[in-house]
Amino acid sequence: MLIAVDTNVLMDYAAEEADVIDAVTTIRTRLKSARFIVTPTAIQELAKLYEAGEEEERLLARKALCSLREWQFEPMNLVAAGHGVVEQICLKLRVRGCLPHEEVNDGLVIAEAALLGCEILLSADHHMLAAQEHPRFRRTLEECEVDGDTMIVATPRKIVKNFFRGTN
């Protein structure tokens, strides 16, 4: 099972936010075959934060970029043809109103995760969470014939709330 992680999840993981750490731990414990992947757009967003973010963002982005392999998050790339497909999916999601038109990177992350066949996209981004509730979201992914057309966008907090077995 492939699970994509969004930039905000990586930044929170670097900041050692409890919900994110618990969500990743829960998924790894309960789904032994789970593989966490980082999409090309998420990598680019981290790089931009490292280069031009506020001081704390720069530190967290650097930590995330340098620690991906240690954390067992696999950076992914798409062949050139894949990038074109991703751009078309992103455009369709925005034109059909699933995402605001200016949310290009959100559309790219969703499209990349779907194209790679992810079953879960872990994100705290409200645009991505709202997109999956849009009536045209699933239909758009189905029409684009991607393996991740049934992908669920979930927050780390929701994963923890629904599945975490703490020591309480």
Residue 164 within any structural domain of the chain: no
Residue 166 within any structural domain of the chain: no
Which pLDDT tens digit goes with each residue over 43-96? 999 999 999 999 999 999 999 999 999 999 999 988 666 678 999 999 999 999
- The parent domain of residue 98 ranges over 2-159
Number of structural domains found in the chain = 1
The string of DSSP codes covering 109-140 is HHHHHHHTT-SEEE---HHHHHHTTSTTHHHH
Closest among 73, 58, 61 to 23, alpha carbons compared:
73
Residue 18 within any structural domain of the chain: yes
Residue 145 within any structural domain of the chain: yes
Q: In what order do the strands lie in the sheet with 35-38?
A: 73-75, 35-38, 2-5, 120-122, 152-154
Q: pLDDT-derived band of residue 167, with 50, 70 and 90 as boundaries?
A: very low
Q: Residue 39: which CATH number?
A: 3.40.50.1010
Say what the pLDDT of residue 80 is: 62
Residue 144 within any structural domain of the chain: yes
Which pLDDT tens digit goes with each residue over 89-141? 999 999 999 999 999 999 999 999 999 999 999 999 999 999 999 999 999 99
Say what the pLDDT of residue 84 is: 86
Residue 135 within any structural domain of the chain: yes
Say what the pLDDT of residue 82 is: 65
